[in-house]
Amino acid sequence: MPPTPEQPHLNGAYYGPSIPPKTKSSNRPSRRRGGGGSCNPLTCCFSCICSCIFNCIFQILITLAIILAIITLILWFVFRPNVPKFHVDDVTLTQFNLSETNDTLHYNLAVNMTFRNPNRRLGIYYDKIEANGLYHGVRFSTADVVGFYLGHKKENNVSAVFKGEQVVSGVKGKYEAENGDGVFKIDLKLRLKIRFKVWWMKTPKFKPKFDCDLKVPLSVKGRVSDQKFERTKCDFDW
């Protein structure tokens, strides 16, 4: 067996055989017959048209939104709208008895109210006024108030009467506690349908509400509470 020839001494890293340089033909992507690399002219044209249409619609919507916001801001500065005001001026409670056997509440309640329009340039149509009487969250009566129109900086005094009987549950303990003092916590909630009038134009109907927390003294023959009813401002909510 012949002796193995000595390998030459390698000084440094060995990188293997050199790689031949790439030719121009090797840099070009290969084209295959039947491939989908090229774009169909009709498809490209349709895509461009759709993109242009969507961009135009988007720009139009943005422009309309900006114009509407500017008009709304101008109208607000011109008219300076304020929410309607509502007060309960006086309340007369001549009967408020809760039966011990079947939780039937017998009541006779008269309420005098004032609606006020604080706006200088807006009129208010009160198309519907529904007044609800509640005792600790339990409704015991409903009365409808005749609608009206309230002009600029005007007030209107109206009244509502709640009379009858109604079964109420879960209020016996609170009734007994308040019956000793002769002052009852009664809530008056108004549900409205209103429209605003601007010059000759009328807005669509809104459905706001007024909430009034009242402390009503009982006034019956032979028993008059020491406390007097205080005029109460009610909260407005959309």
Residues 58 and 162 in one domain: no
Single pTM value for the model: 0.68
* Domain end marker among 34, 62, 80: 80
Residue for token digits 């993109």?
51
CA dist 82 and 180 (Å) reads 42
Query: What is the rounded end-to-end Cα distance, in angstroms, of the chain?
Result: 108
* Among the listed residues 221, 137, 223, the one whose alpha carbon sits nearest the alpha carbon of residue 174: 137
Residues 103 and 190 in one domain: yes
Q: How confident is the model at residue 40 (pLDDT cuts 50, 70, 90)?
A: low
For residue 79, pLDDT over 90 is answered with no
For residue 2, pLDDT over 90 is answered with no
Q: Which tokens is 104 given?
A: 């039937």
Could you read off the pLDDT of 83-129 as tens digits, one per residue?
999 999 999 999 999 998 889 999 999 999 999 999 988 999 999 99
CA dist 216 and 214 (Å) reads 6
Could you read off the pLDDT of 177-210 as tens digits, one per residue?
999 888 999 999 999 999 999 888 898 999 999 9
Split into its structural domains, the chain has a count of 2
CB 105 within 8 A of CB 98: yes
CATH of residue 114: 2.60.40
How much is the average pLDDT of 160-171? Answer: 95
* Domain end marker among 26, 59, 80: 80
